[in-house]
């Protein structure tokens, strides 16, 4: 086992302590595994850079799974398999007892445990870095900013995709500081605080600074702090891009969208709304066939054609769209600035220019551009919830599996792994 893999395993172990608390996990923790390096042997100043690298790796894997699962809960993707425990997501019938989203690893589209792993790993490294000195870790301030930015994004996704959340952490003595159930808005406040720490700590380079600025604008957007969101969005350079990397070294490192929808995989198919947009930002192909054992038409996404294709986490384009939305909210009677931004994006999609006549119309134009520009980047589920976008297909319509219908769930419920294992969270919501 490599040292990096050991650190990732340590992060998953910390999550089991913080979130699961189940007897099965407890008995597993009693087993001495010869290949597992004790965390205290790794948590040294000399390993600070490696610890932050592990934080990034944990987040990137979780992020890829979130993009796919979030795309299924929203309307970007439809499940095209005969695997029953995948069906609740695109039919919007998620239950707290569903295990795939709650406890599966990220290659199997788990999101709760992987995102909490990434968050706990980042918070633990931040705690360690705050306890070390600049003399012990020469680039300590930079590593703090980087870990804080990734902690912010883990929190941001947990806030956007889930109906409520619990945020627990590991104390210096390895005890668990359990967190109670909190609202989505409270999670966004925590994310904003982490982004602010990355921005104001003094150690961020241009890349991490812009990542945190776009992240904080996104957190403020979700909270309805339009002045704050606009201020951050104005600072991010137009050409800025921050992506999650991917490789073929392991299934954990592959581009998760590609792994589910490509020339060699049809586990998911592109959602109906995205099939005929004729927009270069939403490249899709009709394979002209039905997925094996189902009645689902196979439409393949072509945005990510390689296992190594990166997925954008943050960008100047996203910042411009946030600025447009903030202007709509702050200046409802003057859509000039927002329309000019929206029309620049419409030109990219070979669409004719528009002129908004009301705030509602401007928002509709804006949401349409976000749907296109940020296609399969883990953004649409947040919009789906925030704007209560129409269900497609409507709730009550027949699902493609006989006897099932579409439901009306928008967010993922806080799962049983948390409710049954965290003494600060009630068993019933």
Residue 46 lies in a domain: yes
348-362 tens-digit pLDDT: 999 999 999 999 999
**Which whole-number Å values give the CA distances from 5 to 37, 47, 51, 155, in the listed order?**
10, 13, 11, 23
Q: How confident is the model at residue 263 (pLDDT cuts 50, 70, 90)?
A: very high
3-39 tens-digit pLDDT: 444 344 444 444 444 444 333 333 333 334 444 556 6
The rounded percent of the chain whose pLDDT value lies above 90 is 88
| Average pLDDT score over residue span 214-237 | 98
DSSP state of 251: G
Residue 287 lies in a domain: no
| Average pLDDT score over residue span 233-253 | 97
Residue 417 lies in a domain: no
169-182 tens-digit pLDDT: 999 998 999 999 99
The rounded percent of the chain whose pLDDT value lies above 70 is 91
pLDDT at 32: 40
pLDDT at 148: 98
44-78 tens-digit pLDDT: 999 999 999 999 999 999 999 999 999 999 999 99
The whole-model pTM stands at 0.92
Residue 187 lies in a domain: yes
Instruction: Point out which residues pair with 265 in neighbouring strands.
Output: 262
- Enclosing domain of residue 381: 3-249+310-400
Q: Please list the alpha-helical segments (H only) found in 173-254.
A: 184-200, 206-223, 226-235
Indicate the number of domains in the chain. Answer: 1
pLDDT at 167: 98
Residue 228 lies in a domain: yes
pLDDT at 36: 56
388-412 tens-digit pLDDT: 999 989 999 999 988 999 999 999 9
407 versus 292: which is more confidently predicted?
A: 407
| Average pLDDT score over residue span 365-373 | 98
Residue 269 lies in a domain: no
pLDDT at 246: 98
| Average pLDDT score over residue span 72-97 | 96
CATH no. for residue 59?
1.25.40.390
Q: Please report the DSSP string for 112-132 in residue order.
A: HHHHHHHHHHHHHHHHHHHHS
* Mean pLDDT value across the chain: 92
Residue 334 lies in a domain: yes
Q: Please report the DSSP string for 308-348 in residue order.
A: T--EEEEEHHHHHHHHHHHHHHH-TT--HHHHHHHHHHHHH
In the Cβ-directed half-sphere of 36, how many Cα atoms lie within 13 Å? Answer: 15
């Amino acid at each position: 086992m490599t040292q990096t893999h050991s650190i990732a395993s340590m992060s998953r172990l910390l999550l089991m302590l913080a979130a699961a608390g189940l007897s099965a996990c407890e008995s597993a923790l009693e087993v001495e595994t010869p290949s597992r390096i004790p965390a205290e042997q790794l948590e040294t100043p000399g390993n600070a850079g490696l610890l932050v690298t592990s934080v990034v790796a944990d987040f990137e894997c979780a992020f890829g799974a979130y993009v796919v699962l979030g795309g299924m809960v929203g309307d970007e993707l439809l499940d095209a398999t005969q695997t029953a425990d995948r069906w609740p997501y695109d039919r919007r019938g998620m239950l707290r007892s569903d295990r795939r989203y709650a406890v599966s690893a990220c290659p199997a589209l788990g999101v709760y445990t992987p995102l909490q792993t990434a968050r706990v790993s980042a918070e633990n490294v931040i705690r360690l870095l705050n306890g070390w000195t600049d003399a012990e870790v020469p680039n300590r301030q930079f590593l703090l900013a980087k870990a804080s930015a990734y902690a912010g994004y883990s929190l941001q996704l947990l806030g956007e995709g889930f109906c409520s959340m619990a945020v627990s952490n590991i104390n210096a003595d390895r005890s668990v500081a359990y967190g109670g159930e909190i609202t989505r808005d409270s999670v966004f406040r925590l994310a904003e605080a982490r982004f602010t720490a990355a921005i104001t700590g003094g150690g961020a380079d241009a890349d991490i600074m812009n990542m945190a600025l776009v992240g904080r604008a996104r957190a403020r957007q979700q909270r309805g702090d339009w002045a704050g969101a606009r201020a951050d969005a104005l600072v991010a350079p137009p050409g800025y891009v921050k992506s999650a990397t991917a490789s073929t070294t392991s299934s954990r490192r592959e581009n998760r969208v590609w792994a589910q929808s490509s020339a060699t995989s049809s586990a998911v198919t592109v959602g109906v709304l995205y099939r005929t947009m004729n927009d270069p930002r939403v490249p899709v192909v009709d394979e002209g066939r039905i997925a094996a054992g189902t009645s689902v038409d196979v439409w393949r996404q072509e945005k990510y054609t390689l296992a190594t294709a990166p997925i954008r986490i943050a960008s100047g384009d996203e910042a411009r769209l946030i600025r447009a939305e903030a202007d709509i909210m702050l200046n409802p009677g003057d859509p000039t600035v927002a329309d000019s931004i929206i029309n620049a994006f419409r030109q990219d999609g070979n669409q004719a220019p528009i002129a908004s006549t009301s705030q509602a119309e401007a928002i509709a134009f804006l949401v349409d551009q976000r749907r296109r520009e940020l296609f399969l980047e883990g953004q649409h589920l947040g919009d789906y919830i925030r704007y209560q976008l129409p269900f497609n297909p409507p709730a009550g319509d027949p699902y493609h599996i006989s006897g099932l219908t579409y439901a009306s769930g928008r967010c993922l419920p806080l799962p049983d792994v948390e409710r049954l294992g965290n003494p600060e969270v009630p068993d019933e919501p």
